[in-house]
């Protein structure tokens, strides 16, 4: 689009860059990247696409970001910044705090399902400032709850692993649903024949797909809560011993 504007002008009236501050900043780039990812998914994010969305050339981005991988790292930490955890002196107790944090992480993943396909390739995500802040808060919660330091760390990893695992599964599902252009319910219905075929020789699973009137979103909520409660139950037994 910037190219088109200039095409109208002549060589003598040069495009004057009247900038009080740099046209591009890392924060702007990351924010726009998240917007594209949310709107069109992970396949739509290319450097050229991101550049034009910012009225900039593709390669201009490389002044503020080393390469695509680094951009991904930044984007992942950015969305981690949306997560809120109660303080460790929250009167509701460690269990409630952990549950709220877990639900908050899940909500973030469902808001940005594309993150599921990035978490497996970003190696050092936990060094990002927002992830550090989140882990520090959680660590405080578990330590004041009575877990010894090293076990508190393991406890957090356990809860986080569960949340990310379930979130990954949900996000992958939601992504394919979105790609189908249909609602979650319609898509489930349309998938039924394939499911029936796949469960032909698996009686236990065949039995499981009976309920067809249930709200799929509600089912996912309950499934997530079930596993979370079990994990917290398991952790609780370590305290009252």
For a second copy, give the closer residue by CB, 62 or 173: 173
Rounded-to-integer distance, Cα 94 and Cα 199, Å: 41
CA Rg, the chain, in Å? 23
DSSP letters of 98-128?
A: HHHHHHHHHHHHHHSGGGHHHHTT-TTGGGS
198-237 footprint of a second copy as x/- string (CB under 8 A): xx--xxxx-xx-------------xx--xx-xxxxxxx-x
For a second copy, give the closer residue by CB, 84 or 198: 198
Which residue in 33, 34, 37, 45 binds DNA (CB under 7 A)?
Answer: 45
Which residue in 58, 59, 165, 217 binds a second copy (CB under 8 A)?
Answer: 165
Which residue in 5, 6, 192, 233 binds DNA (CB under 7 A)?
Answer: 6
Task: Say which entry of DNA, a second copy, none residue 86 contacts (CB below 5 to 8 A, set by partner kind).
Answer: none
Binding site for a second copy (CB under 8 A): 42, 115-125, 127, 129, 132-133, 135-136, 139-140, 143, 149-151, 153-155, 157-158, 160-169, 171-173, 175-177, 179, 191, 194-195, 198-199, 202-205, 207-208, 222-223, 226-227, 229-235, 237-238
């Amino acid at each position: 689009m910037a190219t088109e504007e200039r095409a109208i002008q002549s060589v003598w009236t040069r495009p004057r860059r009247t900038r009080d501050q740099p046209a591009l900043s890392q924060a702007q780039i990351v924010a726009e990247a998240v917007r594209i990812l949310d709107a069109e998914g992970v396949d739509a994010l290319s450097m050229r696409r991101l550049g034009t969305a910012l009225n900039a050339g593709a390669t201009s981005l490389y002044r503020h970001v080393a390469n695509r991988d680094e951009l991904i790292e930044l984007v992942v930490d950015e969305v981690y910044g949306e997560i809120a955890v109660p303080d460790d002196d929250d009167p509701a107790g460690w269990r409630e705090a952990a549950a709220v944090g877990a639900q908050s992480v899940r909500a973030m993943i469902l808001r940005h399902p594309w993150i599921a396909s990035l978490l497996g390739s970003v190696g050092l995500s936990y060094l990002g400032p927002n992830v550090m802040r989140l882990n520090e808060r959680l660590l405080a919660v578990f330590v004041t709850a009575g877990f010894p330091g090293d076990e508190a760390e393991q406890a957090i990893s356990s809860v986080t692993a569960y949340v990310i695992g379930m979130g990954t599964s949900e996000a992958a599902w939601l992504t394919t649903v979105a790609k189908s252009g249909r609602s979650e319910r319609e898509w489930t219905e349309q998938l039924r024949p394939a499911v029936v075929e796949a469960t032909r020789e698996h009686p236990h699973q065949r039995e499981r797909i009976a309920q067809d009137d249930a709200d799929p979103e509600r089912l996912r909520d309950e499934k997530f809560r079930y596993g979370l409660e079990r994990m917290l139950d398991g952790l609780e037994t370590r305290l009252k011993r």
